Amino acid sequence: MKLEFSIYRYNPDVDDAPHMQDYTLEAEEGRDMMLLDALIQLKEKDPSLSFRRSCREGVCGSDGLNMNGKNGLACITPISALNQPGKKIVIRPLPGLPVIRDFGGGHGAILCTI
């Protein structure tokens, strides 16, 4: 199964402004995976892709993203919940958080206020 993504990219050392970059990933038919697993596979193809992750259990919140316009955690969001025929899966940083690089946000500022 071919999965298509449109991913927010921004590296302040290289880019003047953020942009969206398209990616394609071949996934095994009949096997659902979490978005985080797909992002890890995309990073293997493009090591410049940057994102946060930690517990992989939906507890820490470090992999929070905006996925197709809805906020959630990549580690507990199945691709099947995002994949729509003929449409790309759109990944952006969580709104309202500073972006350090790509969709790796500055979650530390929030944790310091708790």
Among the ranges given (11-20, 50-59, 105-114), the one the predictor scored with the smallest mean pLDDT:
105-114
5 pLDDT higher than 60: yes
Q: What is the H or E stretch that residue 110 is in?
A: helix 107-113
61 pLDDT higher than 80: no
The pLDDT tens digits for 7-50 are 999 998 999 999 999 999 998 887 889 999 999 999 999 999 98
Question: Per-residue b/e over 49-71, b at no fewer than 16 CB within 10 Å?
Answer: bebbeeebeeebebbbbbbbeee
Closest by CA to 36, choosing from 77, 85, 2, is 77
Q: What angle do CA 81, 83, 87 make, to 5 degrees?
A: 145
* Average pLDDT in the chain: 86
62 vs 65, more confident: 65
Query: What is the average per-residue pLDDT within 55-66?
Result: 77
Dihedral sign of CA atoms 20, 47, 50, 35 in order: positive
What CATH architecture applies to the domain 2-113? Roll (3.10)
Dihedral Cα 92, 7, 74, 106, nearest 10 deg: -50
Q: How many C-beta atoms lie closer than 10 Å to residue 10's C-beta?
A: 18
